[in-house]
Structure 1
Amino acid sequence: MFDQFPEPARSQLRAAFDEGRTRPEWCFTQGQARLAYWAPFPGSEPEIVWQFDPGSDPVAAAGLLRGSLEAMGLTKVIHDISLQPGLDPVVDRAVEHEALIEAGFTMEVERLLLEWVAVSDVPENPGRLTFHPARRMDPAEVIDILIRVSEGSLDHDTQVEVATSGAEKEARWMYDDLMSRKAKPDWFSIAYLGDSPVGLVAPDDHSIAYIGVVPEHRGHGYVDDLLAWGTRTLAEAGLQRVVAATDVANVPTADAFLRAGYSEVGRLYRYYWRAS
């Protein structure tokens, strides 16, 4: 089935298969339209329409989407369209947008795509916090911190998952996701002020995958400490480019990235489908 996709999608799908994140039976084609589903981490259910080439006919592509959703038996799916600043998916990816809407998806979130490059200064770590690798901690303790970080979160996906599935289930899913990332074992870390956990930061092999502060420590600029530590960790590992994303509505986090020397390089439009 992977051979029906053109390069570079074919090679990406084969690599994802080797990682346990997609399967041939998660791939569908109809005419010129092709799509493949993706699991966020090995062992999890597929929930991302990762490779989607709608061809030239949005109605046919929507039919392929609907048929694949029925065949997969899924209850929720997301699909992202990434664009350069100033572009609009309604205009600049019209066939893909129309296919998604026709298949019952809704565009709910606009996200900033951010980038730090090595020509920028590495943000200074203020030294207020100490960092402990999450992998060396009791999983229950890390999950508890993830639950606390989700309280009052401005992140849309976190808000939806906490409201529909509960904070503990969302935190356990996030723990499994972060532990599966391609990162050195000590990169995903919990930050402490003395004996009090302040928050967490999870760099992976190319990005800041997750960052958050617990409610009782918000308002003191600790997100800058977390981001400085995460960015410096990746810079010292030799990365020339670090990427990140945050909801446009999450102004405090977006501002923290800009203070740390990140710049906006695009927008991501996230579409959702949920079983009725």
Structure 2
Amino acid sequence: MRPIAGREEIDLFNRLSYVFDHELADDLDSGRRRPEWMWMALRGDRLLARIAWWSRGGGEPPFMLDVFDFDDTLPEAERRDVGARLLETATAAVIPPGARRTEYSRFVPPGWRGDATARRAVEDRMAVLEAAGARLLVERLRLEWRPGTPIPEPSDRLRFRPVRGRDELVELMTLVLEGTLDAHSHADLAIMTPTQAAVAQYDDELARYRSPREWWQTATTPDGDPVGFVVPARNSYRPIIAYIGVLPAHRGKGYIDDLLAVGTRILATNETSEIRASTDLGNVPMARAFRRAGYVEFEREINMSWS
């Protein structure tokens, strides 16, 4: 068991495959990954298992464990044993002693439970992680709007303007946490106040996007009372709806459709590729809003975390 020697071993690392293998070399060049975070279990020149962490940028610590694969032709007991040994060996080398383990993310097909091969692959990996102390946090829908899809026109009930800086957005983010259906937000609220959670998400995520802040929109009533906000952005890979929310006092009135239409239109006007978005499987109202806006489910994501 060892980390890759460098970019020249990407082909060896990719003998086991996953949906974003094509991004790994660029991630290494950009510093979002490091060779010492990409480990392999080898028997001779046969790759039995691999594991890798991702960070948000060069010089930052690992943020997500997002590659964990076995050779699925191995007998079940052997592949789980190899996976467990690689997980513990690599984690000990990558995660500092006493630090909390990073969250685990796995992209899976939308109908993975009905596909025997996909289900076995997902459950094998989850079983190894559960034995190491991880627990399922949430299953999420991954959706995308594709160029050429009609964008619904927003109604005339709301007025839109650019967000007026960090303080306004943090205040709105704090308010929308009341009654949230988002599992990650619930996990944050178990250890932080709503304001602390909003500040952490703004500083750790939203502030990193280099796309224009003028894209971020606050929605108000004609009288100027805030109703909600949408944050269209571009991450390191593609355009996304990074955050969208309606204040509790205005929920149930269909305003989410207007917010999503405006955010989608801003990205479609300024970008040429598909627009990605995610929401929890259990957040049925948000999932329905994305579908009404023309977004289609193309994938799901499993998130597991350590307490």
TM-score, normalised on structure 1?
0.85
AA of the residue aligned to 1:151 = E
Aligned to 1:144: 171
Aligned to 1:201: 230
Q: Secondary structure at the match of 2:213?
A: coil
Q: Secondary structure at the match of 2:187?
A: helix
Deviation at 1:127, TM superposition (A): 3.4
Contact 1:122-1:235 within 8 A present in 2 as well:
no
Contact 2:66-2:106 within 8 A present in 1 as well:
no
Aligned to 1:116: 145
Contact 1:113-1:245 within 8 A present in 2 as well:
yes
Deviation at 1:105, TM superposition (A): 2.1
Matched, 1:59 2:81: yes
Between 1:153-162 and 1:194-203, the stretch displaced more is 194-203
Query: Which residue, out of 262, 273, 284, partners 1:229?
Result: 262
Query: Alpha carbons of 1:261 and 1:109: their partners in 2 closer, same or farther (altered >3 Å)?
Result: same
AA of the residue aligned to 1:39 = S
Aligned to 1:100: 129
Contact 1:90-1:97 within 8 A present in 2 as well:
no
Matched, 1:82 2:107: yes
Q: Secondary structure at the match of 2:102?
A: strand
The alignment covers a number of residue pairs equal to 272
Q: Distance in 2 between matches of 1:53 and 1:42?
A: 24
Between the two structures, name the one with larger relative contact order (CA 8 Å, sep ≥ 6): 1
AA of the residue aligned to 2:266 = T
Aligned to 2:63: 47
Q: Percent identity?
A: 35
Aligned to 1:219: 252
Task: Provide the alpha-carbon RMSD of the alignment.
Answer: 2.6
Query: Alpha carbons of 1:195 and 1:180: their partners in 2 closer, same or farther (altered >3 Å)?
Result: same
Q: Secondary structure at the match of 1:123?
A: coil
Bigger CA radius of gyration: 2
Between 1:54-63 and 1:110-119, the stretch displaced more is 54-63
* Structure 2 unaligned spans of 5+: 73-78
AA of the residue aligned to 1:81 = R
Aligned to 1:165: 192
Aligned to 1:156: 183
Aligned to 1:192: 220
Query: Alpha carbons of 1:231 and 1:75: their partners in 2 closer, same or farther (altered >3 Å)?
Result: same
Deviation at 1:92, TM superposition (A): 4.1
Deviation at 1:103, TM superposition (A): 2.6
- The superposition leaves residues 200-248 of structure 1 with CA deviations (integer Å, 9 ceiling, x where unpaired) of 2112232212111121221221111110001111122243422211111
Deviation at 1:173, TM superposition (A): 2.2
Deviation at 1:98, TM superposition (A): 3.3
